[in-house]
Structure 1
Amino acid sequence: MAKSKGQDADEVLKAFVGRTPTSRYTFDSERNAPTSEICREDPAAKECIVLQMQSKRLFEAMQNLGFFCALPMDPKRTHMECTPIPK
């Protein structure tokens, strides 16, 4: 798992998502925590990074990158799922 340090978290996120912009992403963090973990859900593998970004800010950043983010249908799950919005 990579960790963003020293680099701008928005740029790190943009580069991470830019590698496979059609993938589904999930993210999770503790309430008001300064960091969040975001993972790329790929059939072949799962790749995650930790960003210096609160979950609320990560939610906004993913929307700005063209993703629709929502809680999963299963009420026991608390992570956010982000899928690309068709263009």
Structure 2
Amino acid sequence: MAKFLTLEEWCNETYSVETRPSIQTLQRWARNGNIYPAPEKHGRRYRVKPDAIYINPNDLALGKKIKDAQSDEPARSAFLKKVINDTAAHKV
């Protein structure tokens, strides 16, 4: 069973002191799906896996970041599968 961290603990391990986001920002990221794998709500607090990453939806390398961060278990949503497989048509 994987150990879960609170958003604050994850933030302290992931970000330097100068660039740490506020707790409100971390909670918004958790609600909006900007953290992968998605945090789980345990009671009133979000818990996240230690190897979780922040994903920017406007990032062109999003699929690669998710694929690199993905564990052995398959992606849970069709959106993530679509991003990972890069099935969206690219128009220039």
TM-score, length basis structure 2: 0.24
Name the structure with the higher strand share. Answer: 1
Q: Which has the higher contact order (CA 8 A, sep 6+)?
A: 1
Name the structure with the higher helix share. Answer: 2
Pick the structure with greater CA Rg.
2
